[in-house]
Chains A and B, each alone.
Chain A
């Protein structure tokens, strides 16, 4: 079932981790706000408004997957209980979130954010650090087949098929994936797709540094100054606001957010 595998991070584990505080926008986010974040940052798109039928549908699917799994695990019989839209959109971590007694007892609020598959398993940072140059070699050997020599992925019959990893159509500078650590975890667990080989932690960090040291769409929180944004939101393992190998400062020539050509559906 789409969205159900434990890695990549499943929708349903996230469902029981919200509402929760996020540093990203410095406030407590409901599940529907978290979903909007995926669309604004990771997909460089435009999120449907709060309370919209699209967000209700996503939330309902996440809840249904997660609740079904929990009911199986704790032996609660019967169909997944229905919720009204307002409750659905908040997420499953609230104190007053309606859950069968057996599940409340087994999973107090604090435990719910830690369901298996929540976040990516950590891959320790190599003691010798990481390098975009070495990462390029990894990229050519193990990634280029699907993501293209130029990192722009591939379309087939006009349908985007294999995703770009940098450039105008990729995730933007506000997405979690632009951080070297987050990308290294994701790549180590999930790439190359199908896992015919297992990258070493060193390879995963190096290639994550390589793909994340190139220009991509702007951070949607940008308000005119790359440097100010770097100081406020980019004190982590990423390259926003930095120059790599004497190249231009990353973020200064960033691509637009939600570019109009994405409207056309291809």
Chain B
């Protein structure tokens, strides 16, 4: 397993970083895959920066309970809880993300890119609301609903596929499971790269 390796890797690395002072001890291990500022590291871990703290906390608990199935994160989640988890979630939540110009509803009415059309208008013939209706203008997130803009494309794709395959659950009232179930494989690919490039 590569986890112990990464553990030593980031404990070793964090003292040399200029931001080490801000990074709570408990978050050191997470930084190995998610970055010291939660900015995400390609092929290791998605961006956590700027996501709602309660959302982050709940996701870790979903990994723990098995509603979200991921071997690496299950192991990580088992090692953290309670106040420590809160502290880590608050830390990553407070980290800056690159601003994205928000798009107002109706600013543009005709779309040629089918992915953009799904993001801003949805497809009501399938009772598919626009992603931006729930995820906020330009999908920068709103309330407890996470930001998508600028997240890693592979990660976004894996999540939508995980919902389709029953490997991710625990979202309130199966809100996102229902949406993901209506998307085709080609749409998932197109949406993931469209959203990842919104930055």
Contact = CB atoms under 8 A, between A and B. Distances in A.
Interface of A: 2, 4-5, 141-142, 145-146, 148, 154-157, 159, 161-162, 192-197
A145 B144 contact: yes
Interface stretch (B41-49, B64-72, B152-160, B174-182): B174-182
Interface stretch (B2-10, B75-83, B122-130, B183-191): B122-130
B151 interface: no
B113 interface: no
A193 B129 CA distance: 7
Contact of A145 (B102, B137, B175, B177): B175
Contact of A142 (B104, B137, B173): B173
B137 to A, nearest CB: 5
A195 B178 contact: yes
Contacts of B104: 159
Contacts of B134: 146, 162, 193-194
Interface of B: 102, 104, 106, 109, 121, 124-125, 127-129, 133-134, 136-137, 140-145, 172-175, 177-179
Contact of B175 (A5, A148, A157, A194): A194
A161 B175 contact: no
Nearest to A4: B124
Given A161-B142, A194-B178, 18 more contacts: A5-B124, A5-B125, A145-B143, A145-B145, A146-B134, A148-B143, A154-B143, A156-B140, A157-B102, A157-B136, A159-B104, A161-B136, A162-B143, A192-B175, A193-B134, A194-B129, A196-B174, A196-B179
Nearest to B106: A2
Given A145-B172, A156-B102, A157-B102, A196 B177 contact: yes
Contacts of A161: 133, 136-137, 142
Given A2-B106, A192-B173, A157 B143 contact: no
